[in-house]
Amino acid sequence: MSAVSHYIGNIWTAATSFFEGLSVTMSWMFRRPMTIQYPDKIDKPIDQQLPERYRGFLEVDIRYCIGCSACMRACPIDCIRMEVAKHPESGTRMLTRFDIDVSKCMFCGLCTEVCPTGCLHHTKLFEGTNAHIENLVLRYVDVPVEPFKMKKGEENPIDRSGNIARSRLKDFFAPAPPEFQGSRQGDLTG
């Protein structure tokens, strides 16, 4: 007798699980999809949707850089290159180069942790697609500048909006920088 009840029970289980399963999947037809349709149909701009501590492209507010090159030493993959030189006339230290190769950067954030002034920080930018990988070297020093002199107890109004990094990113079809044209080597550290 138990075999018969088991048999009937199996049929009943099949029928009820059909009933329940079909109702669950049908209810999902009426629910809002989870998908964020980046980049076409998003409710608000993508950088407002990203979390506060998002690690995007590195940005340097060069006005507040003291030229300690702690970031360069902290970088595990050497994607930061900074050069300091003496001014030929006055003999003061001058910051001549601050390049970050974001195509190599792994966004670990170690450089931002060691930066004493916080002028090196992550932005929320991540859209840097480019036809030439060399264009992803962001150059933050146009003309040699004097390093910042840090004073105790002073707030540094560092620009963290991402506008500096955004202005350094190049257009997708921009030609490669002259020193790289004709070669595929984008290696900063040699």
48 in contact with another protein (CB under 8 A): no
Binding range to another protein, per CB under 8 A, among 12-20, 98-106, 146-154, 165-173: 12-20
- Yes or no: say if 148 and 63 are a contact pair by the CB < 8 Å rule: yes
6 in contact with another protein (CB under 8 A): no
Interacting residue with another protein among 1, 3, 4, 33 (CB under 8 A):
33
124 strand-pairing partners: none
Three-state SS string over 98-130 comes to EEEECCCCCCCCHHHHHCCCCCEEECCCCCCCC
189 in contact with another protein (CB under 8 A): no
167 in contact with another protein (CB under 8 A): no
Interacting residue with another protein among 35, 48, 92, 167 (CB under 8 A):
35
3 in contact with another protein (CB under 8 A): no
Please state the closest distance from residue 4 (CB atom) to another protein, in A: 12
Within residues 87-106, the interface with another protein by CB under 8 A covers none
Please state the closest distance from residue 41 (CB atom) to another protein, in A: 8
What is the bridge-based pairing of β-strands 137-139 and 80-86?
unpaired
- Yes or no: say if 97 and 83 are a contact pair by the CB < 8 Å rule: yes
172 in contact with another protein (CB under 8 A): no
Interacting residue with another protein among 3, 4, 34, 143 (CB under 8 A):
34
Binding range to another protein, per CB under 8 A, among 4-12, 60-68, 119-127, 141-149: 4-12
**Cα–Cα distance for residue pair 100/164, rounded to 1 Å:** 13
- Torsion-angle region of 118 (φ positive above 0: left; ψ -120 to 50: alpha; else: beta): left
**Cα–Cα distance for residue pair 170/49, rounded to 1 Å:** 24
Which C-beta is closer to another protein: that of 37 or that of 48? 37
Nearest of 93, 73, 92 to residue 81 by alpha carbon:
73
- Give me 109's structure tokens: 């954030």
27 in contact with another protein (CB under 8 A): yes
Task: List interacting residues with another protein (CB under 8 A).
Answer: 7, 10-11, 18-35, 37, 41
